[in-house]
Structure 1
Amino acid sequence: MESNASIAAIKGGLIIGLIGIILSMLTYVVDPSMMVDWKFSLISFAISLFLYVYIGKKYRNEEMEGYMTFGDAFKFTFIAGIIGTLLTGFFSIVLFNVIDPELPEVLTEQVLKNTESMMESFGAPTEEMDKALEQIEKDMAGKFSVGGILQGSWAWLLAAAFYALITSAIIKKKRPEFE
């Protein structure tokens, strides 16, 4: 990938990351429990996908004469995704360990509450619910620490690759053969 494409991908990643940080801060200020709400996760997914497509199409139309192979689109959006992931990951470390070190406990309690409510609605037996909630509490311990966030970063990179695959399929545009 040319250096112009790399620079554009980095700029796109900065935009993705900064918008992710702004969204996280707004959520934190309005209602931190939304951070672990599945509906909010769907909204975040849609916003992220929109940003990837917007940035990819903008690059394709302005720098690639309106045409882009799937491979070039994937490289571009994956680099942008990595940059965005690094920014939001760094922000998560700062949020959970500097700005509000009690937030992980609040989010863990909310996850437990959400899970318990869901299991009750399915009619799960009490002993099964207790086991599941205990396991969730164990699994969540340390997830918000610097080490826990860094350890989970592989999942973020997989998500960036997933977004890049979807986006590349949307923004690719083959140049006509006889143009």
Structure 2
Amino acid sequence: MEQQTQSPFQAALKPGIIMGLIAMAVTYLAYFIDSSLLASGWFFLVSIVIFFVLIIYFGKQYRSDLGGFMSFGTAFNFSFITMVISGLISSIGTILLFQVIDPSLPQVLADLTFENTVSMMEKFGVNPDSIPPDQLEEMRVNSASGFTLSGQLKGFGFSLIFYAVLALILGAILKKRDKSLDY
């Protein structure tokens, strides 16, 4: 009897859910330890690395289930679908955190983000006093808008583009061609 292989969507469902729950757990853990971690560039970087490693791990498992070989298209589809599912779950968790659990958190994070931006500008030699007040206020408003419900939904939309680019890279990493089929 021939073994049935899963489609990329079916195979990506479980890893996507697992990764989404892990992302939620890491976000909530950072929130409970020190909410300012959520505005840190390091937190974002560590999250991306964990995300990348987990997709490679699950992708290699799926490739093994397929007999050890996977086309670029299958690897891309698997990676992209996994990230979309994970992103949806993570976004729901973040929306709950910002809108229900701690509605004051978005303003705290927006202020921290603005302060980090100004600090970064100072490191590059820009004096914040030389920036017009209306431009500083616009930066402050833009920092806050990312933490609103509509900002989070818009952010997820932009994440889809990031997921597609990352899936292209992961597809290239995960693909493996059966060289025995070469003539």
| TM-score of the alignment, normalized to the shorter chain, above 0.5 | yes
| Structure 2 match to 1:5 | 8
Segments of 4+ moved more than 3 angstroms: 2-5, 129-133
Q: Tell whether the 8 Å contact from 2:23 to 2:90 is kept in structure 1 after alignment.
A: yes
Give unpaired runs (5+ residues) of structure 1.
Answer: none
| Structure 2 match to 1:97 | 99
| Structure 1 match to 2:122 | 120
> What are the superposed Cα offsets for residues 6-31 of structure 1, whole Å, 9 maximum, x if unpaired?
22211111011111111111111111
Report the more deviating stretch, 105-114 or 128-137.
Answer: 128-137
Deviation at 1:132, TM superposition (A): 4.9
- Quick one: distance in 1 between partners of 2:132 and 2:151? 25
| Structure 2 match to 1:57 | 60
- Quick one: distance in 2 between partners of 1:132 and 1:59? 49
- Quick one: distance in 1 between partners of 2:135 and 2:58? 41
Counterpart of 2:27 (choices 24, 29, 32) is 24
Q: Tell whether the 8 Å contact from 1:56 to 1:171 is kept in structure 2 after alignment.
A: yes
Whether 2:50 is the aligned partner of 1:43: answer no
Deviation at 1:141, TM superposition (A): 3.2
Distance change >3 Å, CA 117–CA 131, structure 1 → 2:
farther
- Quick one: distance in 1 between partners of 2:162 and 2:59? 17
Distance change >3 Å, CA 5–CA 120, structure 1 → 2:
closer
CA RMSD after TM alignment: 1.9
| Structure 1 match to 2:161 | 158
Task: Determine what percentage of the aligned residue pairs are the same residue.
Answer: 38
- Quick one: distance in 2 between partners of 1:94 and 1:60? 35
Deviation at 1:151, TM superposition (A): 2.1
Q: Tell whether the 8 Å contact from 2:17 to 2:85 is kept in structure 1 after alignment.
A: yes
Deviation at 1:73, TM superposition (A): 0.4
Q: How many residues of Structure 1 are paired with residues of Structure 2 in the alignment?
A: 177
Q: Tell whether the 8 Å contact from 1:52 to 1:163 is kept in structure 2 after alignment.
A: no
Distance change >3 Å, CA 27–CA 75, structure 1 → 2:
same
| Structure 1 match to 2:83 | 81
Report the more deviating stretch, 119-128 or 30-39.
Answer: 119-128
Deviation at 1:134, TM superposition (A): 1.9
- Quick one: distance in 2 between partners of 1:56 and 1:132? 45
- Quick one: distance in 1 between partners of 2:55 and 2:136? 36
**Structure 2: which amino acid aligns with 1:81?**
M
> What are the superposed Cα offsets for residues 148-178 of structure 1, whole Å, 9 maximum, x if unpaired?
2112221111122122112111111001234
